[in-house]
Amino acid sequence: MKHSGQTVLWELWAALCLCTALVLPPGSPWLHEPALLYPGLMLAAVVPAAWAVWWVVVPPQPLPPEQLLEPVQRQSLAALCGT
């Protein structure tokens, strides 16, 4: 399966958030390991902030031209009035 770069980043960020959530419960022995806790918390906060900045800075792609499903049919006013 082919993944785009953004898909891979989302998957890595989700895995990082899950790993960080496992560390955070009260009484967790990993809670006293700042070398493991702080980088995960920092990345869990920085990655969405970076994506928000990217979303604001990069302009959106232009919309494709409108394509009608069928040609427009012209009817005369007399045919519409029934005379």
**What's the predicted TM-score (pTM) here?**
0.41
Contact yes or no for 8/29 (Cβ under 8 A): no
Tokens of 19: 């790993």
The mean pLDDT of the chain is 77
Q: With cut-offs at 50, 70 and 90, classify the pLDDT of residue 75.
A: confident
pLDDT per position as a tens digit, 32-69: 777 766 777 787 788 788 888 888 888 888 888 888 77
List the domain boundaries for the chain: 5-57
Tell the residue number behind the tokens 């029934």, with chain if given: 82
Q: Tokens 């070398």, residue?
A: 35
